Amino acid sequence: MKFFPTTLLIIFIVCAQVARAEENPPRKKRKSQLLKELPASINKDTANDVSGSDAAPFKPSIQVGAIVHMFAGAEQDGFGSPSAAEAAKDWSKSFTLYRARVLVGGQLSKKGSFFMETDLPSAIGVQLSTGNKSTKVSPILLDCQYEYDFSNAFQLVAGMQLVSNNRNGLQGAAGLMANDFTYFQYPYNLFENSPLNGNFGRDLGVNARGFLAKDKLEYRLGVFTGRNTDGKAPLRTVGRLAYSFLDPDKDYYYAGTKLGNGKTFTWGAGFDAQGSYYNLSTDVFLDKPLGQAGSLTLNAAFQYMTGGTDTLSKYSFARMIPRQTVQFLELGYYFKEPKLQPWVRFENQHIISQQAQTSGVPTYDFDQTNSSYVVGGGLNYFFNGTGTNLRLSYTTRSYDVKEATGYADKTFGQVWLQVQFFIF
């Protein structure tokens, strides 16, 4: 499959025409971003309670909430791994408790706040990829962070937090448009044994963040632990710049869809690097009313990443992260009267490894069998915005599978009917 990075440029131009360069004055209230997994533009009551009046005496506050995703699903054998291609006609079925998070946040002072979140380390139910059933798991600490707002232009966030150089990797689970996160945003940062020693996309470190140019320009720059086996590893450095052409986009965890609340058109670019590894990305997000019926959401990104070719240094990623490009696109339309949102998604992970990265494996074979792409779509029904909703999705994942006569493009399917409830 061929890839065209210029696709993002075309999307960007289309978005600019839809947005029409509208300007709205920024709201003058201050928000504590860490207290919300739900975007403030949707959860306005929470934002008002947290911000308060500068003239009123300060009182510490605390909030407790939860987010749950559970689904009935079916997945064709081979969806998670092409090695199971010989049984591609068989389907595994399951009722699954996928996420069960407890959220705790608090305002400790006028400028200081904290956020903590737990989650399940693995889903409860039949694991579709293995067929094994788990009936209980112990929760893990997912997020644990403290934020201090020195000013609107400079804030520090310290602790365990989501780490990414692109928008989709910094989305909150409650604000997703599709049924789940993308397949390729955390390919090397998901688990402890991943190349970057991640924790479901989280890492420990300190992140600086601020807003300039009337809140239209956001920057993020942080240093994190990354991969570390002896305490002497170079720090992982992650940065991002984003410019909002319409309403300021100030949520700490971005929304995947805002259901027409406000007008957002944001372009961003970022980097992620440690040792011989680096990842460069650019992304665009549009969410605004379009027509009388409802609102359009578009989310697109392009990444180039590689572990480099240095195979001698101790913190080389050359044989852990092959050179590759990742493309991502989500497009949906929210019909406000029936509260329905159809959406489509496309993702590509195209591996084009360098010879030094394959460690003796023929490059052609390695690239063919590890590249894959995802095409899917679904329909969401919102009982109460992101508070309670139902999502039906069908997703396919395609690989080049090696057979006796050569390579063949194989496609495997997955069906989810997922319910979400969220309160914070």
Q: Where does the pLDDT of residue 360 fall: very low under 50, low under 70, confident under 90, or very high at 90 and above?
A: confident
Are residues 323 and 280 in contact, defined by beta-carbon separation less than 8 angstroms?
no
Q: Is-contact 130 78, C-beta < 8 A?
A: no
Give domain status of residue 240, yes or no: yes
Distance CA 140, CA 154 (A): 31
Closest CA to 202 of 145, 281, 123, 134: 145
Residue 109 lies in a domain: no
Those residues with Cβ within 8 angstroms of residue 232's Cβ, 6 or more apart along the chain or in another chain: none
Q: Are 298 and 330 in contact (CB under 8 A)?
A: yes
Q: Is the pLDDT of residue 18 over 80?
A: no
Least confident of 7-16, 217-226, 307-316: 7-16
> Alpha-carbon distance 389 to 383, whole Å?
5
Q: Is residue 130 part of a domain?
A: no
Residue 102 scores a pLDDT above 50: yes
Each residue of 37-60: b (16+ CB within 10 Å) or e?
A: bbbbbbbeebbeebbbeeeeeeee
pLDDT of residue 55: 66
Evaluate whether residue 378 is within a structural domain: yes
In a domain, 332, yes or no: yes
- Could you give the CA distance from residue 356 to residue 324 in angstroms, rounded to a whole number? 14
DSSP code per residue over 185-227: SSTTTSSTTSTT--BTTEEEEEEEEEEETTTTEEEEEEEE--S
- How would you classify the pairing of strands 277-290 and 294-306? antiparallel
Look at residue 407 and tell me if it is in a domain.
Answer: yes
Mean pLDDT in the chain? 86
Domain assignment of residue 178, yes or no: yes
Residue 365, both tokens: 């074979």
Among the residue ranges 34-43, 252-261, 291-300, 330-339, the one predicted with the least confidence is: 34-43
pTM of the model: 0.85
Which of 283, 259, 340, 275 has its CA nearest to residue 311?
Answer: 275
More confident residue, 126 or 240: 240
Q: Tell me the pLDDT band of 221, cut-offs 50, 70 and 90.
A: very high
Find how far residue 116's CA is from the centre of its chain. Answer: 18
Structural domain including 418 reads 6-16+153-423
Q: Evaluate if residue 265 carries a pLDDT over 80.
A: yes
Q: What is the pLDDT of residues 292-349, one digit of tens each?
A: 999 999 999 999 999 999 988 889 999 999 999 999 999 999 999 999 999 999 999 9
Residue 389: strand pairing partners:
382, 420
Of the candidates 284, 385, 374, the one whose C-alpha atom is nearest the C-alpha of residue 42 is 385
338 versus 79: which is more confidently predicted? 338
pLDDT at 71: 95
Above 60 in pLDDT, residue 54? no
Q: What is the dihedral of CA 76, 82, 83, 84, to 10 degrees?
A: 10
Q: Is 225 left (phi over 0), alpha (psi -120 to 50) or beta?
A: alpha
| Total domain count, the chain | 1
25's CB contacts (< 8 A; 6+ apart) are: none
Q: In this predicted model, which residue has the larger pLDDT, 136 or 418?
A: 418
pLDDT value at position 146?
97
Reading the block at residue 118, the tokens are: 């737990």
The pLDDT confidence band at residue 38, using thresholds 50, 70 and 90, is very low
Specify the pLDDT at position 236.
97
Partner residues linked to 332 by β-bridges: 297, 343
CATH value at residue 183: 2.40.160.10
d(CA 153, CA 150): 8
Distance CA 105, CA 36 (A): 8
- Within a domain: 60: no
